Chains A and B, each alone.
Chain A
């Protein structure tokens, strides 16, 4: 019985100065092969200058069903935004 190649998540930096962004996933036997496959699958047209690969099982994700508890606390904190503060019009650009 053969063993299946694990799944890897692929992150690509499209050019220096930009962050790595999630591009998709693929199967590979190990990290080195995941990098090589990622080059062929996701950067055939110069889409990247740097690739990260992470085995999918190592990613812990938040649960969308708990988005309420997770993200709502940020919603009623308007004082974190600059428009919350009243300034006279004479003060331009602050």
Chain B
């Protein structure tokens, strides 16, 4: 699948240039080790890595995996919310929700572009998503059954996403860091619009407040899981910390999310569905109950409430759009050919 351009962007080609070897030769272990040391030192000095710089193969692969998962999550993340665009309760809410979903499409596109600079094609990335080889955030496999879910998603899911994403604005890979700066700038409106929906419901009728509480009950635990497995279970943490793909551990991020969200729930007058949740004077943090990791792994493995629905919606959208993409390409080629004819 490698065309010439992506080959030229690939680390192997750059490595050839650095050590001046022929295509068929293989770098000695010592030479690779040397380059790796120089590379790690650059990151330690907070230098950014740009696409054409030499990088260890593992760095490239890890980044393709993480950035593409991130992009896929933005694209799949449009589906649960898209469900409510036609039924938003007012024009104001509808316009805001449309803008939010459009932002998510945009964020997916920034991230796919950043990922492509690592020498992988957009088509390969889509194939990985559509075949189930690549993952996306499992939170999007839960259904949005009431309007309050749109409020809860903005408040909790986007809230957790922001906590995850802000440290990535300083990550070592330049295109990823730049995409994240744009994403973070745009995302703060997402959380505020969600919280405002919750606030309006909580100040409304008894039924509306109950609807908000029900949404919080269903989204709370999946939001905590969204920040990833516990540190003890997280296999990539150490390497990711070194490459600044991660600045805080999953458990630290989760604690930060809980500490910031509990007072927000108090303002709404809602109860967080965790009987063990209480302020700990000593640590200065909230203690919280046990997370059902069995549920998390079930959803990751494809057994969540909406995994199949999400994937089929995505694959159908792609397949049904094929004739449009082909027609656009054919039209572009015809116009180009006409231009050439006129020139002759």
Q: Flag if A2 contacts B109 (CB, 8 Å).
A: no
Minimum C-beta distance from A21 to chain B (A)? 11
Whether the pair A4, B17 counts as a contact (CB closer than 8 A) is: no
Question: Judging by beta carbons under 8 Å apart, are B123 and A64 in contact?
Answer: no
A27-68 vs B, Cβ < 8 Å mask (1 yes, 0 no): 101100100000011001100000000001100010111100
- Which residues on A sit within 8 Å (CB–CB) of B50? 64
- Contact present for A65 and B17 (CB under 8 Å): yes
Decide: A44 and B328 in contact? CB cutoff 8 A: no
Check if B249 is an interface residue, CB within 8 A of chain A. no
Bound Cα distance A15, B103 (Å):
22
How many interface residues does chain B have, given as a range?
A: 20 to 34
Which residues of chain B have C-beta atoms less than 8 A from A56's C-beta?
Answer: 5
Taken together as a complex, chains A and B put the C-alpha atoms of A29 and B321 apart, in Å, by 14
For residue B322, CB closer than 8 A to chain A, the reply is yes
- Mostly helix, strand, loop or mixed at chain A's interface? mixed
Interface string of A1-43 (1 = CB under 8 A from B): 0111101000000000000000011110110010000001100
Interface size class of A (residues with CB under 8 A): 20 to 34
Smallest CB-CB separation from A9: which chain B residue?
A: B113
Interfacial chain B residues near A24, Cβ < 8 Å:
110, 113-114, 178-179
B122 and A65 contacting across the interface, CB-CB below 8 Å: no
Known: A24-B113, A29-B331, A64-B52. Contact between A2 and B325, CB under 8 A? yes
Q: Closest Cβ of chain B: how far from A86's Cβ, in Å? A: 34
Nearest CB of A to B12, in Å: 12
- CB-nearest residue of chain B relative to A1? B326
Residues of B within 8 A of A26 (CB): 109, 113
CB neighbors of A among B296-344 (8 A): 322, 325-326, 328-329, 331-332, 335-336
Taking A7-B116, A29-B332, A41-B109 as contacts, is the C-beta distance between A2 and B322 under 8 angstroms? Answer: yes
Q: How far is the CB of A69 from chain B (nearest CB, A)?
A: 12
Q: Is the CB of B332 within 8 A of A25?
A: no
In the complex, chain B residues whose CB is within 8 Å of the CB of A5 = 325, 328-329
Q: Is B54 an interface residue (CB 8 A)?
A: yes
Shortest distance from the beta carbon of B180 to any chain A beta carbon, whole Å: 12
Contact A3 B14 (CB under 8 A): no
- Cα–Cα, bound, A26→B105 (Å): 12
B260 contacts A by Cβ under 8 Å? no
Contact A45 B113 (CB under 8 A): no
Chain A CB within 8 A of B186 CB? yes
A80–B322 Cα gap in the complex (Å)?
A: 57
In the assembled complex, how far is the CB of residue B332 from the closest CB belonging to chain A, in whole angstroms? 4
Rounded to whole angstroms, the CA-CA distance of A27 and B321 in the bound complex is 15
CA gap between A65 and B178 in the complex, in Å: 23
State how many angstroms separate the Cβ of A51 from the closest Cβ of chain B: 15
B121 within 8 A of A: yes
Please, which residues of chain B bring their CB within 8 A of the CB of A3?
326, 329
CA distance A56 to B121 in the complex (A): 13
A44 in contact with B329 (CB, 8 Å): no
Residue interface mask B93-123, A partner, CB < 8 A = 1: 0000001001100100110011010000111
Contact of B102 (CB < 8 Å), options: A27, A30, A44: A44
Per the bound structure, the CA–CA distance linking A63 and B11 in Å amounts to 12
CA–CA, A26 to B331, complex, Å? 19
**Beta-carbon contact of B54 and A33 below 8 Å:** no
When the two chains form their complex, are residues B326 and A63 in contact, meaning their CB atoms are under 8 A apart? no
Binding site for A on B (CB under 8 A): 5, 14, 17-18, 50, 52-54, 99, 102-103, 106, 109-110, 113-114, 116, 121-123, 178-179, 186, 322, 325-326, 328-329, 331-332, 335-336
- 6 further interface pairs, Cβ-Cβ under 8 Å (given A2-B326, A25-B113): A7-B116, A33-B328, A44-B102, A44-B106, A63-B17, A64-B53
Q: 11 interchain pairs (CB within 8 A)?
A: A4-B121, A4-B122, A5-B329, A24-B114, A24-B179, A29-B325, A30-B331, A40-B102, A40-B106, A57-B5, A63-B52
Residues of A within 8 A of B (CB): 2-5, 7, 24-27, 29-30, 33, 40-41, 44-45, 56-57, 61, 63-66
What 4 A-B pairs come out closest when comparing CB atoms?
A30-B332, A29-B328, A29-B332, A65-B17
